[in-house]
Structure 1
Amino acid sequence: MEITTTRVPRWFVRRDIDGLFGLALDNFIQILLIVNLCQGVLAFPASLVYGRILPGVAISLIVGNFYYAKLAKEQGKREQRDDITALPYGINTVSLFAYIFMVMLPVKLAAISSGVSGEQAAQLAWQAGLVACFGSGLIEFIGAWGGEALRRLTPRAALLSTLGGIAITFIAIGFLFRTYANPVVGLVPLGVILLTYFGRVRFIIPGGLLAVLLGVALAWGTALASWDRVQFIATLQPIRLYLPSLWLGELWSSRSVLVEYFSIILPMGLFNLVGSLQNLESASAAGDTYPVAPCLRVNGIGTLVAAICGSCFPTTIYIGHPGWKAMGARVGYSIFNGIIMGLLCLSGTVAMLAYFVPVEAGMAIVLWIGIVIVAQSFTATPSHHAPAVVIGLLPGIAGWGALIAKNALRAAGLGTPEKPLTPTLIDRFKLSDTYIDGAFALEQGFIFSAMILAGITVYIIERKFRQAAYWSASAAVISWVGLMHSYRWTVADTVVNFGWGTGTPWATGYIMLAILFFYVDWQERHKT
């Protein structure tokens, strides 16, 4: 008589420790980035970062990690398997940078230029981040019912190259600059990360952890980080229990941000949605097939919870499920990641850890993330679509260049009520053959223009000229209403200019392009 053995996943196995190191380290770096960027770039007070944002981060991470662990347990039981790995989950890196630099910083600068105090400007920027995060969550949640159709309609090169444009600029280049500003500290951890993840070299401890430890040692050993008793005592002050609050009133009072920054919020929400779909496909290829709609809904719910509880940063299913599975991680690593990250954020101890672990110690991991995203744009698309990927990278690079140019002008003392930024700067840039007005036009809605240009190029390569014409006509509509390209001047910035017909020049150009594609399609169909 044959005896069948029931195989069900356990809540915790020894190799979950390896998976926990990797996932928790990744999430910890994201939290360090939030603390450093919110306090360094946005000048948020500690009470705002530790009392509002991080508790929201904690709740969103707990919700997602616990759900995906429970889902893995149930899926494994249903399939009679004990080797199923929970989906990795955490803060969306791309959205983190996008919402800080493309939503919250512009809102803060505009508020200050209008005479608002720094404290009130920080409050307005935080509220804008909440709305952007909430908008992303809504798109992800609603998209659970139509995300698959969207992915079928959009060429992969159009999706991945746009993501690559953000990764190469707002993620990778900034940290590469920082690496070479502090080469003694930055290069060795970068080498460890490259050896670990590209060279498949195994060290005694996980490569990511080794890179951070070496970065910490080098930072303190070279005096990039140095002991300051007053500063250390200041890092202890935020340590206490923070209970999350609901910020529905702040969300409602800043609801206009949803319209003003729709050209950023909509694409970021779609990217989170499609990226999660791709990561579910990746998990399926590794042997773990999860139901699509519930996973996407919980993804959206996690982001909505983050916004309602004070966080400006969407959460998502992480890339790299096959890696965690290869490590031997199963269910427990997800649960413990949620617990540990939750405790760090709710206790305020992140401040102390951030003091001992400067961002330079962990930036190699974020730089690697940017590299992988860009590389994936080429490796995960058909090789003959490479020109489309390159074209899709360009609007993101242009948008980043425009931001750098305006930062340089502000550093030179312009962008104040006494010395505002004005259109006369365009002619001064042209003296050096720099058409900065083109960069400003590409900056507005660059996520849309990157997708559209890459999509058009894919269809041209495939000789599907009518589809290229449809995409160009769509670009004309988007440009006409000001979601893309059209911009207006403020005291310290150039910002999106919504309105009927505000993007007429670009809309006209796209319509003429569509006519060209329709003509070529007609010509090809009537060749004898």
Structure 2
Amino acid sequence: MKASWARQHGFSSGDLNGFLGLVVDNLSIMAFLATALIGIFGFPADIVFLRMFPGTTFGVLLGNLAYTAMARRLARQSGREDVTAMPLGLDAPTSIGMALLVLGPAFLHFRQAGLDTHAAGVATWELGMAALVIMGVLKFVLSFFGGMVQRHVPRAGLLGSIAGIALVLMGFLPLVEILKVPVVGFAGLGVVLYALVARARMPWNVPGVLVAFVVGALLYYVLGPLGWLGHGYQPPAAWQWRFALPVPTLQWLQGIPAAVPYLPLILPFGLLMVVGGINVTESARAAGDDYRTRDILLVEALATLVAGFCGGVAQTTPYIGQPSYKAMGARSGYTLLTGIVIGLGGVFGYLSNLVELVPLSVLAPILVFVAIGITVQAFEATPMRYAAAVVFSFFPAIARMVTIKLSDPAYVAPEHFQALFTDQSHGMPELAVITILGNGFIITSMIWASFLVALIDGRTMRACAILLLGGALSLFGIIHSVQPSGGIYAPWLIEDASRLRVWQFAGAYMVLAAVLMLLSVASGSHKRTSTDEQRSN
């Protein structure tokens, strides 16, 4: 009788495994978001837990409820009981990117401008809300044009840009956190690789993510008090009662001016999730669950918008692992349970307590695995002849990671960084080159990969057009901003020394386009290009 009731209401024995895996995925991302803001940038914890978390988790709740309803509707229409809901959660690359590239640097900027810690935290929170609303609006609009985006931006550009984020922000930086407490972190990483990369069977079919989580936590809390982890062990914080409702607010409007300089990051974050949502829907369709792509994208966009209006700072997205959840026997119960647990956790505060209780060295292995998966997918889902374009798209992300470390006051004093950036004694200083290359790196990665794909296809004139677009974007700092903060600008309004760098980078794209045009005409390859373009049309 109980089994019959469970099947009737969309629950199966596999939903427990799906629920545990999806909850841990979301918890790991929230933990990194909080740890990065509080631990690295000195952000006020009460703003993270009482203002950012409730709205962020509310978006997860609404999105999972909608996907649960969509799965049950599909099950009724198809007459099948094995329909698996689309999993939804916080997007790992862009959530980590928001913490390290937008929220953290903005908080330091507000502090340097003279605001006290609390006021700077509130201003940064308003910026985060504004950024999320902007991404939500963009995703809502693009959900009607997702196919057009896929046709005009090569897969190597889309997947390469997000793989670059995954490799350096989700992979390398969490790997550093793992090796800060190597006895704990490396064991957890090994279990993740054993279960999820080598695909070894876990005892009693327990999700590998959960096993890694338990192994890491046991090692940390058993060996830590014994002194075997050195300074890597921190006693758990006292459990605190935190209650905060995700109340809609218009405070995000105050954050729009501060969000404008970060648009070269914010807009690509939204664009990548639209394309990701399309790919995820295709993946679910291949696994047997035919969801309407536009419905999946609209739910994702609306969940992000609502989260932004209610104080959230990290966007939701459907996860690529729907076929994996289907293979473990999950149906629609796991998304319902995940939405409720995550959503209420932000309201009643038990998620923030779990974040404080579980060290990053225990959760970071999950992020490293996701980074590996995203990077591998960039090569697997792209024809082999475009592999060079995928690799080429990684370099701007690497430059951005180096800039993050070098601009950290813990390593380089702000005044020393500024002096190295502006030094003109030996041409353009190396630090300036690295920083300018990393500014706007997501769009740069798309431009570079798309340009190289066009060259590989023999479409030289298309490659030149992409280069001219890159030059135009460079003029306004959308890519290669010459400001250390990465802000956008009008080139005629900046100081002379910086204006010269603007023209150097913009000119580089334009000169290369001219050179390629001449080579194409001289070699006669423009004829093949024209023919290829006619065929593609």
Fold in common (TM above 0.5): yes
Q: Is the 8 A contact 1:157 1:458 kept in 2?
A: yes
Alpha-carbon distance between aligned partners in 1 of 2:268 and 2:18, rounded to the nearest angstrom: 31
1:5 alignment partner in structure 2: none
SS of equivalent residue, structure 1 residue 272: helix
Q: Is the 8 A contact 1:216 1:356 kept in 2?
A: no
Shift of 1:26: 0.8
Shift of 1:424: 6.0
Alpha-carbon distance between aligned partners in 1 of 2:263 and 2:182, rounded to the nearest angstrom: 39
Alpha-carbon distance between aligned partners in 1 of 2:47 and 2:260, rounded to the nearest angstrom: 25
Alpha-carbon distance between aligned partners in 2 of 1:281 and 1:406, rounded to the nearest angstrom: 40
Q: Note closer, same or farther for the CA distance 1:424–1:155 as it changes in structure 2 (3 Å cut).
A: closer
1:362 alignment partner in structure 2: 363
Residue 422 (structure 1) aligned to one of 419, 423, 435: 419
Query: RMSD over aligned Cα, in angstroms?
Result: 2.1
Q: Is the 8 A contact 1:43 1:122 kept in 2?
A: no
Q: Give the stretch that moved more between structures: 50-59 or 217-226.
A: 217-226
Does structure 1 residue 451 correspond to structure 2 residue 446? Answer: yes
Q: For 1:222-233, what aligned pairs fall within 5 Å after superposition?
A: 222-223=223-224, 224=229, 228=235, 232-233=237-238
2:394 alignment partner in structure 1: 393
Q: Give the AA of the match of 1:56.
A: G
Q: Give the AA of the match of 2:247.
A: S
Does structure 1 residue 496 correspond to structure 2 residue 487? Answer: yes
SS of equivalent residue, structure 1 residue 90: strand
Q: Is the 8 A contact 1:426 1:436 kept in 2?
A: no
Q: Give the AA of the match of 2:191.
A: V
Q: Deviations over 1:401-437 (max 9, x none)?
A: 1221222xx2256215xx6723566468x79x97222
Identify unmatched segments of 5+ residues in structure 1. 1-7
Q: Is the 8 A contact 2:164 2:397 kept in 1?
A: yes
Does structure 1 residue 294 correspond to structure 2 residue 291? Answer: no
Q: For 1:11-410, what aligned pairs fall within 5 Å after superposition?
A: 11-204=10-203, 205-223=206-224, 224=229, 228=235, 232-233=237-238, 236-237=239-240, 239-248=241-250, 250-407=251-408, 410=409
Q: Give the stretch that moved more between structures: 134-143 or 510-519.
A: 510-519
Q: Is the 8 A contact 2:281 2:293 kept in 1?
A: yes
Q: Give the AA of the match of 2:76.
A: K
Q: Note closer, same or farther for the CA distance 1:286–1:384 as it changes in structure 2 (3 Å cut).
A: same
Q: Is the 8 A contact 2:178 2:362 kept in 1?
A: no
Q: Is the 8 A contact 2:158 2:272 kept in 1?
A: yes
SS of equivalent residue, structure 1 residue 288: coil
Q: Is the 8 A contact 1:141 1:300 kept in 2?
A: yes
Q: Give the AA of the match of 1:438.
A: V
Q: Note closer, same or farther for the CA distance 1:526–1:91 as it changes in structure 2 (3 Å cut).
A: closer
SS of equivalent residue, structure 1 residue 316: strand
1:469 alignment partner in structure 2: 464
Shift of 1:91: 0.4
SS of equivalent residue, structure 1 residue 256: helix
Q: Note closer, same or farther for the CA distance 1:227–1:297 as it changes in structure 2 (3 Å cut).
A: closer
SS of equivalent residue, structure 1 residue 266: helix
Q: What count of residue pairs does the alignment treat as equivalent? A: 504
Q: Is the 8 A contact 1:480 1:500 kept in 2?
A: yes
Q: Give the AA of the match of 1:507.
A: A
Q: Is the 8 A contact 1:426 1:435 kept in 2?
A: no
Alpha-carbon distance between aligned partners in 2 of 1:434 and 1:477, rounded to the nearest angstrom: 23
Alpha-carbon distance between aligned partners in 2 of 1:9 and 1:391, rounded to the nearest angstrom: 51
Shift of 1:354: 2.8
Alpha-carbon distance between aligned partners in 2 of 1:368 and 1:526, rounded to the nearest angstrom: 46
Q: Give the AA of the match of 2:246.
A: P
Q: Deviations over 1:135-170 (max 9, x none)?
A: 111111110111110111111111111111111111
Alpha-carbon distance between aligned partners in 2 of 1:512 and 1:101, rounded to the nearest angstrom: 34
- Normalised by the length of structure 1, the TM-score is 0.91
Shift of 1:93: 0.8
Identify unmatched segments of 5+ residues in structure 2. 1-6, 493-498, 529-537
Shift of 1:130: 1.1
Q: Give the AA of the match of 2:190.
A: G
2:531 alignment partner in structure 1: none
1:4 alignment partner in structure 2: none
Q: Is the 8 A contact 1:9 1:331 kept in 2?
A: no
Q: Deviations over 1:207-242 (max 9, x none)?
A: 1111011100111122157685xx643xx23x2432
Q: Is the 8 A contact 1:9 1:84 kept in 2?
A: no
Alpha-carbon distance between aligned partners in 1 of 2:505 and 2:351, rounded to the nearest angstrom: 47
Alpha-carbon distance between aligned partners in 2 of 1:294 and 1:94, rounded to the nearest angstrom: 23
Alpha-carbon distance between aligned partners in 2 of 1:478 and 1:108, rounded to the nearest angstrom: 26
Alpha-carbon distance between aligned partners in 1 of 2:8 and 2:384, rounded to the nearest angstrom: 40
Q: Give the AA of the match of 1:16.
A: D
2:3 alignment partner in structure 1: none
Q: Give the AA of the match of 1:421.
A: Q
Q: Note closer, same or farther for the CA distance 1:348–1:443 as it changes in structure 2 (3 Å cut).
A: same
Q: Is the 8 A contact 1:440 1:494 kept in 2?
A: no
Q: Deviations over 1:305-348 (max 9, x none)?
A: 11111111010111111101111111111101101112221111
Q: Note closer, same or farther for the CA distance 1:426–1:379 as it changes in structure 2 (3 Å cut).
A: farther
1:508 alignment partner in structure 2: 507
Q: Note closer, same or farther for the CA distance 1:215–1:253 as it changes in structure 2 (3 Å cut).
A: same
Alpha-carbon distance between aligned partners in 1 of 2:182 and 2:473, rounded to the nearest angstrom: 44
1:481 alignment partner in structure 2: 476
Q: Deviations over 1:73-105 (max 9, x none)?
A: 111211222111100100011111111111112
Alpha-carbon distance between aligned partners in 2 of 1:47 and 1:291, rounded to the nearest angstrom: 40
SS of equivalent residue, structure 1 residue 96: helix
- Over 6 Å off, 4+ runs: none
Alpha-carbon distance between aligned partners in 2 of 1:54 and 1:526, rounded to the nearest angstrom: 57
Shift of 1:479: 1.2
Q: Deviations over 1:10-55 (max 9, x none)?
A: 4211211121111111112122223322322333323212221111
